[in-house]
Amino acid sequence: MAPLYKFRVNGNLRIVENMYNNLGEINKMEKSDSEEYKDNFAELLEQSFTETKRMKTGQLIETEIVSISGDTIFLQLNGKSEGLLEREELTDKDGNLTVETGDKIKVFFLSEKNGEMYFTTKISGEKAGKELLESAFENNIPVEGLVEKEIKGGFNIKVGESRAFCPYSQMGQKRVEDAQQWLGKTLTFKITEYRENGRNILVSNRAILEEKHENQVTVLKKTLHEKMIVNGKVTQIRDFGAFVDIEGMQALLPISEISRERVEDVSAVLKEGQEIEASIIKIDWKTEKISLSMKSLTVDPWDSVDTKYKKGSKYKGTVVRITNFGAFVSLEPGLDGLIHISELRTDYRDAIPSDKLKPGQSITVLINNIDKENRRLSLKPSSTIQEDESVQKYMETEDDTYNPFAALLKNKKK
């Protein structure tokens, strides 16, 4: 009997080898057991062959990389055989492999040659003949094409030996002002129309990006949740906040959530490309909007305001904002109080807060009231602690000479 391990049928060399190595054990079995084993052997072998024959061109499967050798990546098929994928399909622009043994990937069945099953992640280069492009259209297999030139209404795309047309509206996820930026680039497209035996081909890059985005959202729905701490990179600075990339999703960091301190200029605090850590405060998967907060990762001073600060006591602060009804004073980052305009002593009736105080000015204030629930502090200007000590020392000076100013202060104290 010819050794079974020399045969390769539909990529099943490995399973035949394994089964052949166990044939020696059959002779040691009892006759009934031996017959049953042979029956199972034949059944498993036939099943492995027929299952791989069911694969259709363009069929999408998720599989595992079982080994990588030279220019070939070997893929697991139904646990009984292996498929083949060209290594270059899973390398970056520098030629470095982006996967490793054990990784799960999605591939399209391409063809069967000499009993071997070939797969692809996309159709490109010499693989893109007319017959294969038609199959790609019928089976939704992505194709790789070179953006050759800009023509009326869109771009001329070279896919293998064929020419295709991609409208402006189907290039990129969002339309850009400068269409020239696409020229000379090799991108992935979906064939949306294939007519006249390949003489009229319409493709879309946007369809590929949108599908990729949908798959990405599906995965992120399982991993991201509110109150979760994430790392991201700032991609855009705007007046109202910053956009941050979180695993491929754009999230918004509002200006009010950047810091406990009041932020007037986002660009003064954050820079594009900066890595940040933030907490997810809201996710709306229907609109695909994610809101972040850096502020929530720091201690909230309002939590301990009633133990750290006392009504009637004096504290140093900094004027941070002037309004027509008063001035806001910061006692510490995230803890601001209001000096109402009525508390600002002026020599004339129509005085405004800016006549007495300026942003950045240091000031000693006395706390009139603490409203922790509504996060409000009522303040009023006060003499400094040093001034109080000087007055106290002056009042306690023993001197027989009558001092009307000291007497006045003593009477006020009483």
Over residues 201-212, the mean pLDDT reads 93
Report pLDDT for 33: 54
Q: Which CATH number fits domain 227-297: 3.40.50.10860, 3.20.20.220, 3.40.50.300, 2.40.50.140?
A: 2.40.50.140
The dihedral region occupied by 375, where left means phi > 0, alpha psi between -120 and 50, and beta the remainder, is left
| CATH number assigned to the domain covering 304-382 | 2.40.50.140
> How many Å apart are CA 290 and CA 287, to the nearest integer?
9
Kindly indicate the confidence band of residue 11, based on its pLDDT and cuts at 50, 70 and 90: very low
> Residues 6 or more apart from 68 whose CB is under 8 A from it?
74, 87, 97, 100, 101
> Where would I find the H helices in 60-167?
130-139
Mean pLDDT rounded to a whole number for the chain: 81
Over residues 186-192, the mean pLDDT reads 93
**pLDDT of 271-297, one tens digit each?**
999 999 999 999 999 999 999 999 999
Least confident of 64-73, 359-368, 386-395: 386-395
Strand-pair partners of 151: 154
Equal fold, 227-297 vs 304-382: yes
Highest mean pLDDT (candidates 157-161, 248-252, 279-283, 407-411): 279-283
> Where would I find the H helices in 230-380?
305-308
Report pLDDT for 130: 80
CA triple 205-210-211, angle to 5 deg = 100
What the block records as the tokens of 400 is: 């027989």
Report pLDDT for 344: 80
pTM above 0.85, yes or no: no
Report pLDDT for 10: 42
Domain ranges of the chain: 1-87, 125-210, 227-297, 304-382
Fold of 125-210: OB fold (Dihydrolipoamide Acetyltransferase, E2P) (2.40.50)
Report pLDDT for 67: 94
Highest mean pLDDT (candidates 77-86, 87-96, 98-107, 399-408): 98-107
**pLDDT of 310-347, one tens digit each?**
999 999 999 988 988 889 999 998 899 999 988 886 55
Report pLDDT for 4: 37
Q: Flag whether pLDDT at 9 surpasses 50.
A: no
Strand-pair partners of 329: 319, 337
